[in-house]
């Protein structure tokens, strides 16, 4: 299938770009499962933006840089922060029902999260992402220039070696993708391709991210020749619900923003002031490490997050979804503390992009969690992520539109070759490799690292890579095999990046190099 612009991913980044481009062009959007299956629909806390007198761009920029350990690119931070209010206004126009404090549009109810020195998070109760995803999807479905294609698993970007006439130009012409319904691999070609495939949280055993967060876009871009940066900066959220049945339910940082405190369940001691003067509202890396330290020191299964000292109506009013979910699990958050543990939450590193969303490969753009744009540095500030999706989704669209005449139509492409593979007779290999990767990434490449543990992880990933490559070359692709191949690639990029950083900065904390180097330098891996 040929289209003007191909977008891989139907979350906040992908649909923002699609809606802008569809004003003039035919746009096709692929999703590997249902359209709402990405992380966007799961976002709870909200979106950060300077929206009221007393707050300033300078303050939002400063908070972003402090949380990011100075590794951020100041130009990118300014670009995103200054475009934030406009992005919020456009979402409100699309129908996102942000909570308001007063009768007028713009009387936003702003909540607070860790690392922010001001109340600046607009939100829709405690389920902001769901409201945003629905508004974007509704607009995209109503637009005749947008074709939405769910259940289409992108495998590899189409580059020169896939052309009927072999080329070494490095230009990307689209993607090969597995149709889950027919089981066939199809080629999608376009003048420009935007990667909006989200993060790689499922590289870790415990993660708040959805099942599909397997780093597919990062791995595909890497294989297509793009540089990847800061992959060691994997963010762990301090407060994921600890429950034996429900494994990855986030308890939003806004609970701490509205007064929730962390306590050691054994002693009842409120410990965060011992770790940081900002206590529960310190940036996430600090709170996650504190929770981890309490758990490990006292042999606990979890720590307690307690908001039961607040008025019950206030708690239910601010966190209706969390209240309902936890009541269903036998925890009344208006009277009881919530058992929580840290879990992987966000991929700060990714495909290197410039302020126009351009990657290293001509014709390939990227936006959202798949990228390393310079916004987050060594640790993402809470609620800056959806924001990045809107601003960079727009930036990609604007650049494509401004340079449309210079983008060549795709050349004839070879079909997917299945002549030398058969159906797998050993699916157990896939399940086993998935489990192994996620387990050793959690144990050896987690919140606190050492060189020895990273080397152990590297040894294991090298072994698994050989097995998975062998398997991939012999058997027909399935969604699980495609994801496993990407998980191996991304885990390897994370481990190599972590091994190469000889300091502790932001999310990368290693006992072998506890100090921070005087100069902040990005880790950049070149294929």
- Contact, 26 vs 4, CB < 8 A? yes
Closer residue to ligand FAD (CB): 31 or 228: 31
Sign of the CA dihedral running 483, 485, 487, 489 = negative
- Nearest approach in angstroms of CB 253 to ligand FAD is 8
- Contact, 237 vs 208, CB < 8 A? yes
Among 114, 115, 212, 260, binds ligand FAD (CB under 6 A): 212
- Phi/psi of residue 122, each to 5°? -80, 150
Among 91, 209, 282, 447, binds ligand FAD (CB under 6 A): 209
Sheet with 228-229, edge to edge strand ranges = 371-372, 350-352, 228-229, 524-525
Q: Choose, from 112, 171, 227, 284, the residue flagged as catalytic.
A: 284
With both helix axes pointing from N to C terminus, report the angle between 128-141 and 12-21 in degrees, rounded to the nearest 10: 30
Restricted to residues 45-74, the positions that interact with ligand FAD (CB under 6 A) are 45-47
- Nearest approach in angstroms of CB 367 to ligand FAD is 7
Structure tokens at 352: 């290197």
**Residue 31 partner contact from ligand SIN, ligand FAD, none using kind-dependent CB cut-offs of 5 to 8 Å:** ligand FAD
SS3 assignment for 412-461: CECCCCCCCCECCCCCHHHHHHHHHHHHHHHHHCCCCECHHHHHHHHHHH
- Contact, 436 vs 331, CB < 8 A? no
- Nearest approach in angstroms of CB 61 to ligand FAD is 16
Restricted to residues 141-180, the positions that interact with ligand FAD (CB under 6 A) are 152-154
Q: How many residues bind ligand FAD (CB under 6 A)?
A: 43
Per-residue string for binding with ligand SIN, 41-80, x by CB under 6 A? ---xx-----------------------------------
Asked if 382 touches ligand SIN (CB under 6 A), the answer is: yes
Region near ligand SIN per CB under 6 A, out of 312-320, 378-386, 428-436, 493-501: 378-386
Asked if 385 touches ligand SIN (CB under 6 A), the answer is: yes
Give the C-alpha separation, 217 to 196, whole Å: 7
284 among known catalytic residues? yes
Structure tokens at 246: 């429900």
Going by C-alpha positions, the residue among 14, 2, 38 that lies closest to residue 367 is: 14
Among 243, 373, 383, 497, binds ligand FAD (CB under 6 A): 383
Applying CB under 6 A, the residues found at the interface with ligand FAD are 8-14, 30-33, 37-40, 42-47, 128-129, 152-154, 196-198, 208-209, 212, 216, 250, 346, 368-370, 383-386, 389
Applying CB under 6 A, the residues found at the interface with ligand SIN are 44-45, 252-254, 346, 382-383, 385
């Amino acid at each position: 299938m040929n289209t003007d612009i191909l977008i891989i991913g139907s979350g906040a980044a992908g649909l923002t770009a699609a809606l802008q481009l569809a004003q003039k062009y035919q746009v096709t959007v692929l999703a590997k499962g249902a359209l709402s299956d990405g992380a966007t629909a799961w976002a709870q806390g909200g979106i950060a933006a300077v929206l009221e007198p007393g707050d300033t761009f300078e303050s939002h920029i400063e908070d972003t840089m402090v949380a990011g350990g100075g590794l951020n690119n100041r130009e990118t931070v300014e670009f995103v922060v200054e475009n934030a209010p406009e992005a919020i206004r456009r979402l409100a126009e699309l129908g996102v029902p942000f909570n308001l404090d007063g009768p007028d549009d713009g009387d936003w109810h702003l909540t607070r999260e860790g690392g922010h020195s001001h109340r600046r998070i607009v939100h829709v109760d405690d389920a902001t992402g769901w409201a945003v995803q629905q508004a974007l999807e509704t607009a995209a479905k109503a637009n005749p220039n947008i074709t939405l294609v769910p259940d289409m698993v992108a495998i590899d970007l189409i580059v020169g070696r896939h052309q009927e006439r072999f080329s070494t130009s490095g230009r990307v012409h689209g993607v090969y993708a597995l149709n889950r319904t027919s089981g066939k691999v199809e080629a999608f070609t376009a003048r420009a391709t935007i990667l909006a495939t989200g993060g790689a949280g499922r590289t870790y055993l415990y993660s708040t991210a959805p099942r599909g967060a397997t780093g597919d876009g990062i791995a595909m871009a890497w294989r297509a020749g793009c540089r990847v940066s800061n992959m060691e900066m994997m963010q762990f959220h301090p407060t994921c619900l600890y429950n034996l049945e429900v494994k990855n339910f986030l308890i939003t940082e806004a609970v701490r923003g509205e007064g929730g405190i962390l306590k050691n369940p054994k002693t009842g001691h409120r410990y965060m002031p011992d770790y940081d003067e900002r206590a529960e509202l310190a940036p996430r890396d600090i709170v996650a490490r504190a929770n981890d330290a309490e758990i490990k020191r006292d042999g606990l299964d979890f720590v307690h997050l307690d908001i039961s000292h607040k008025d019950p109506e206030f708690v239910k009013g601010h966190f209706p979804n969390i209240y309902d979910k936890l009541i269903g699990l036998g925890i009344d958050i208006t009277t009881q503390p919530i058992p929580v543990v840290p879990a992987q939450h966000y991929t700060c590193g990714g495909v290197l992009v410039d302020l126009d969303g351009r990657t290293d490969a001509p014709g390939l753009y990227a936006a959202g969690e798949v990228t390393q744009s310079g916004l987050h540095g060594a640790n993402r500030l809470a609620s800056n992520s959806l924001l990045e999706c809107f601003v960079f989704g727009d930036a990609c669209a604007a650049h494509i539109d401004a340079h449309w005449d210079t983008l060549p139509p795709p050349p004839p492409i070879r079909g997917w070759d299945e002549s030398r593979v058969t159906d797998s007779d050993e699916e157990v290999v896939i399940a086993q490799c998935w489990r192994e990767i996620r387990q050793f990434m959690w144990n050896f490449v987690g919140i606190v690292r050492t060189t020895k543990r990273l080397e152990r992880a590297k040894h294991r990933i090298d072994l698994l890579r050989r097995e998975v490559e062998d398997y991939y070359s012999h058997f027909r692709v399935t969604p699980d095999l495609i994801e496993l191949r990407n998980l191996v690639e991304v885990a390897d990029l994370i481990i190599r990046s972590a091994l190469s950083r000889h300091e502790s900065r932001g999310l990368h904390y290693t006992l072998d190099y506890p100090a921070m180097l005087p100069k902040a330098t990005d880790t950049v891996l070149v294929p």
